[in-house]
Amino acid sequence: MDLNIFINLALALILGLLVSKLMKLIRLPNVTGYLIVGLIAGPYCLKLFSLDTIKSLSIIPEIALGFIAFSIGTEFKLPYLKKIGSSPIIIAVLEGFGAVIVVDLALILTGHDIAFSLVLGAIASATAPAATLMVVRQYKAKGPVTDTLLPVVAIDDAVALIAFGLSVAAAKVINASAGASLAFTLLNPLKEIFGALLFGALLGIILTLLTKWFTGRGNRLSATFAMILLCIGISVIAGFSSLLACMAMSAVYVNMSKVTDKVFEQVDRVTPPLFMLFFILSGSVLNITILPAVGIIGIIYIVARVIGKYLGTLLGAKISHAHPNVKKYLGFTLIPQAGVAIGLASVALNVVPEYGVQIQTIILCATLIYELIGPVITKLALRKAGEIPDLGLKKAIENQ
């Protein structure tokens, strides 16, 4: 029997609440539990949520990603950026292109087609900000690694779009594609990035004026919701990156408004159910039955991407004279991969149709693996770096 949308939403939240208790007992991040329970309840396992149900709730992941991007944009306060310097930018560029180069080389050296290797390798740059942010929030992580991680993840999307545009253009040259199409391939990522930044900045100014005009907490919260939804909606129509647009809006807003602390506190209070639903629905669409299809190429991609991310981060941290813990542990926090990568794989279906299906299958398999293990490794890395409080020690001190 198909349940209505309200019961499905309630069921998803109840499952999320229950699994969060289990994750606390076994000391795993909540986001891992949400993904697992979504996978089990989804259409490829117990079928509590059908494909039609997931499609009917597709607006939730879009909105949740907008709020996640909006939260990450708050890390771009000018005093804070002056304090940490150019390190996040250098690291983001080198870890992004490091993953691309290592995956490209690994695939080419193992005898795979160059054009195919370039397009698949380009997607390696993308990192999922949602899982990372949730781990940081859940464990209240603080320190040099966390301070560098959030700006790096924010910049990473722009790096991924540029890397993809360049790599696809190179693949088209190899395949002797038309010049006009090649020009479009090169210019499209620039439109996605700079269009999003300009549009987001404009909305950030408007949001500053709105929260100055409306003084009530409820009205300010409503204005923030309206601007995030508007940002997502127009970005979709205009072909901008909605993630970058929401980040840009937040970055401008946090530097212009004097009431951002109050607004962000309100937003943080109302978004947990939305984020919970986002990860449960994300887990529901993971099809575990496609894992055997990953093959040797998929294994090369999964392993080489992690190596590239780590080496790129290490090099970037050394060049920018980052904190020793950033050099040691930051690379391990950049494993999660989801929405942007899946979106780029879908684009690959059109730009390189001869490889599109294979690339999409590999990315979906990799996403399943990365999303399940990534948050756990992020937690371990932040704990090793000493940025997640030891709750047992804290309680012992309090009881003395």
SS (H, E, C) 213-239: HCCCHHHHHHHHHHHHHHHHHHHHHHC
**288 CA to centre of own chain:** 21
Mean of the pLDDT values across residues 148-167?
79
Q: Would you list the DSSP string of 136-160?
A: HHHTT--SHHHHHHHHHHHHHHHHH
Split at pLDDT 50, 70, 90, the class of 336 is: confident
pLDDT digits (tens, 9 = 90+) for 342-376: 767 766 766 667 777 778 778 877 877 887 788 88
Q: CA-CA-CA-CA torsion for 26, 151, 69, 40, nearest 10 degrees? A: -30
Split at pLDDT 50, 70, 90, the class of 291 is: low
Provide the 8-state DSSP code for 76.
G
Mean of the pLDDT values across residues 205-223?
92
- CA nearest to 78, candidates 260, 230, 215: 260
pLDDT digits (tens, 9 = 90+) for 48-70: 888 888 888 888 888 888 888 88
Split at pLDDT 50, 70, 90, the class of 12 is: very high
* pLDDT score of 118: 87
Token pair in block for residue 396: 């012992």
Q: 58-277+291-389 adopts what CATH topology?
A: Na+/H+ antiporter like fold (1.20.1530)
**349 CA to centre of own chain:** 21
Mean pLDDT of the chain: 82
Least confident of 10-19, 169-178, 205-214, 332-341: 169-178
CB atoms within 10 A of CB 277: 22
pLDDT digits (tens, 9 = 90+) for 85-105: 778 889 988 998 999 999 999
Beta carbons of 368 and 128 less than 8 angstroms apart: no
CA distance 12 to 42: 10
Place of tokens 């089990």: 40
Beta carbons of 340 and 362 less than 8 angstroms apart: no
Split at pLDDT 50, 70, 90, the class of 186 is: low
**118, 182, 184 from 166: Cα distances, Å:** 9, 10, 11
The percent of residues above 70 in pLDDT, for the chain, comes to 88
* Higher pLDDT among residues 3 and 200, named by residue: 200
CA distance 33 to 54: 18
| Domain map (residue ranges) of the chain | 58-277+291-389
Beta carbons of 164 and 192 less than 8 angstroms apart: no
- In this prediction the pTM is 0.73
